[in-house]
Amino acid sequence: MGTTQPETVPEPKYWHLKTVLSEALDRDFAVGEVLPNERELAARFGVARATLRQALEQLELEGRLQRRRGVGTTVAPPRVGVAVGGARQGWPGEGADGWEAVDAAEALPPAAVVGLLGDAAEQPVHTVRRTRVTHGQSVAAELLYVPTDSVPGLSAIDAPAGPARARAVLRELQRLTLEGQDRSVELGSARADDAKELDRLPGAPVLVVTTRYFTAAGTAAVSVATYRADTCRLTFGDSGVEIAHEDRAAS
Amino acid sequence: MGTTQPETVPEPKYWHLKTVLSEALDRDFAVGEVLPNERELAARFGVARATLRQALEQLELEGRLQRRRGVGTTVAPPRVGVAVGGARQGWPGEGADGWEAVDAAEALPPAAVVGLLGDAAEQPVHTVRRTRVTHGQSVAAELLYVPTDSVPGLSAIDAPAGPARARAVLRELQRLTLEGQDRSVELGSARADDAKELDRLPGAPVLVVTTRYFTAAGTAAVSVATYRADTCRLTFGDSGVEIAHEDRAAS
DNA sequence: CAGTGGTCTAGACCACCCG
DNA sequence: GGGTGGTCTAGACCACTGG
């Protein structure tokens, strides 16, 4: 004796906890319902609060929970599908797609964007801020970078600051002929400014969608849009058919 | 006196730490280089290890670090761009796209997939496992669900288990006429089996790409592919131009 | 104000990797 | 083995929300 069972590797407590909680959510809770607070949940499961939090964090990452300081933890609604446009689309701001221009300014682009714009030399760009609202909640914050020489028709002090100026830049952009675009999606964490716009804490997980817009003259604009990863599912419909997620695909 | 400066809200330590580390990485470390271990880093910055770990976690999430138990923390190479095919593409397995068939079996699909397949009634599906390798590292694990009546030419015991059988299913699928497809991307956490395939711990962040393949008869197949979120940038190039990320777009 | 989640600590033990 | 990151604990205090 002395030897116990072969004992498969012990599953971490937080992982097991997550599973248990996940099943409890499916079974006993409705969307929007408030969970018991963390201290009580931890006590109920006989673990430290930090361990319980590790499980909650995972569930929030998967979009099943929503936690707000001072309020509590609630059961999240299913993720909303936001169309990002897979096939040839159009300039930003064309059509009513939920985007709202917020502001615009002229500045030098950050290093990360310079590479995407192609030409090595730093040239000033119009920086347009937009926000995307779907189903009453803001799901994305975007920074659009438009080199000033892409839109020569726009003099620097053409419009006053604010939404009007942002829309002016978009209007000029739409006068150009769009030759193509490409997109990439990656995981990031929200910068402080984006986090504020998205009503999340800094560092919250976001899906970063980077889009380059091409004209015959080269890259005319670059858009960096950050979507709330907890509440959004990005859709790239080539067929126009909406995906009807009845359940969650992620584990 | 007695009153200090207005004192903007104190930045969390881990957030500040993350910034400091991030700059240090850019300045003093090369890709692949090993960082000092967590206990020493924590001591050096005068914080508890848990706090230091919170900063490292963020940096790993952003693809800047790579941590492996028993080995250490190393500076991660830039994310690899993996083409996911934005425009009309083709059946899975057409062309050499880095996917490798692993195995296949016949079973009832999970509830989450039933909804995507359209017809309410549960029908048996071929479940094909594939793995995607790019630049020598496995970046994605896929489960492809093909209803048995989508590929009537394939009798149940047509091929022995293993890669051969998986390829047989794909071959049958490719005989059909693809009418369209749509895709969605969302954040998830790796299930135990996917994690193993991706050489990560369970719960690691992944980008879940769900694709539906349509024929005139309806949804002929559903693919759920999980990509390593730490090392991958999904590209949807409509123009065929590769995005050359010289720097990181995420904060 | 009381109650919530968010941050932080100082310690412990475990699972894994490699020489 | 010795060293790494991964898990877990039992506390403490802080920042925010709401009545």
Domains, chain B, in order of start with CATH, read 13-75 (1.10.10.10), 82-243 (3.40.1410.10)
Say how many CA atoms lie within 13 Å of A112 toward its Cβ: 10
Q: How far is the CA of A238 from the C1' of D16 (A)?
A: 44
Tokens 């739409």 correspond to A174
A72 CB inside 7 Å of strand C: yes
Query: Which nucleotide shows the minimum CA-to-C1' distance to residue B48?
Result: C9
Query: How far, in Å, CA of B144 to CA of B125, rounded?
Result: 9
C-alpha dist (Å) from residue A44 to A21, A37, A41, A49, A52: 12, 11, 5, 11, 10
Q: How many CB pairs under 8 A join A and B?
A: 204
Task: Using alpha carbons, select from A184, A210, A206 the residue that is nearest to residue A195.
Answer: A206
Would you give the distance in Å from CA B51 to the centre of its chain?
Answer: 27
Residues paired with residue B137 on neighbouring β-strands, in sequence order: B134
Spell out the residues 6+ positions from residue A170 whose beta carbon is closer than 8 angstroms to its own.
A91, A92, A93, A101, A128, A144
CA distance A120 to A197: 31
Where is A48: in which H helix or E strand? none
Backbone phi, psi, residue A37, to 5°: -70, 165
DSSP state of A34: B
What is the predicted pLDDT for the residue at B73?
98
Residue A139 CB neighbours (<10 A): 22
Specify the pairing of strand B232-237 against strand B80-83: parallel
Are B105 and B168 spatial neighbours (Cβ–Cβ below 8 Å)? Answer: no
- Map tokens 């009832």 to a residue: B108
Residue that the structure tokens 């004192």 belong to:
B7
List chain A residues with CB under 8 Å of B114. Answer: 246
Q: Give the up-direction half-sphere exposure of residue B204: CA atoms within 13 A in the CB hemisphere.
A: 27
Per-residue pLDDT tens listing for chain A (251 residues): 433 344 456 789 999 999 999 999 999 999 999 999 999 999 999 999 999 999 999 999 999 999 999 999 999 999 999 998 765 578 998 877 889 999 999 989 988 899 888 776 678 899 999 999 988 888 999 999 999 888 887 765 666 778 888 999 999 999 999 988 889 999 999 998 889 888 898 899 999 999 999 999 889 999 999 999 999 999 986 654 444 444 444 44
The pLDDT profile of chain B, 251 residues, written as one tens digit per residue, is 433 344 456 789 999 999 999 999 999 999 999 999 999 999 999 999 999 999 999 999 999 999 999 999 999 999 999 998 765 568 998 877 889 999 999 989 988 899 888 766 678 899 999 999 988 888 999 999 999 888 877 765 666 778 888 999 999 999 999 988 889 999 999 998 889 888 898 899 999 999 999 999 889 999 999 999 999 999 986 654 444 444 443 44
Cα separation values, A191 from A65, A199, A207, A228, B250, Å: 22, 12, 12, 12, 8
d(CA A160, CA A19): 54
> Tell me, what's the pLDDT at B134?
87
Q: For A102-128, give one letter per residue: b (16+ CB within 10 A) or e.
A: eebeeeebeebbbbbbeeeeeeebbbb
Q: Check CB contact under 8 Å for A186 and B61.
A: no
What are the backbone dihedrals phi and psi of residue A14, each rounded to the nearest 5 degrees, phi first? -65, -30
pLDDT, tens digit, for every residue of B154-169?
A: 765 666 778 888 999 9
A11-19 — which CB contacts under 8 Å span 24+ positions? A13/A47, A13/A51, A14/A47, A14/A51, A14/A52, A14/A54, A14/A55, A14/A58, A15/A55, A15/B202, A15/B203, A17/A45, A17/A47, A17/A51, A17/A52, A17/A54, A17/A55, A18/A55, A18/A58, A18/A59, A18/B203
A185: helix, coil or strand? strand
Contact by Cβ (8 Å): B193, B129:
no
Q: Do A245 and B183 touch (CB under 8 A)?
A: no
Task: Identify each DSSP E strand in B13-136 by its residue range.
Answer: 65-68, 72-75, 80-83, 99-107, 125-134
Strand D atom within 7 Å of A108 CB: no
Amino acid residing at A3: T
pLDDT of residue A111: 86
Is B200 an interface residue toward A (CB < 8 Å)?
Answer: no
Instruction: Could you list the beta-strand ranges (E) of B149-244.
Output: 180-189, 205-215, 218-228, 232-237
| C-beta of residue A108 within 8 angstroms of C-beta of residue A122 | yes
Structure tokens at B2: 């007695």
Is residue B116 within 8 A of residue B212, CB to CB? The reply is yes
- Provide the chain B residues 68-87 that lie in CB contact (below 8 A) with chain A: 79, 81, 86-87
| A51 CB below 7 A from strand D atoms | yes
Q: What is the pLDDT of residue B251?
A: 41
Statement: the CB of B171 is under 7 Å from strand C: no
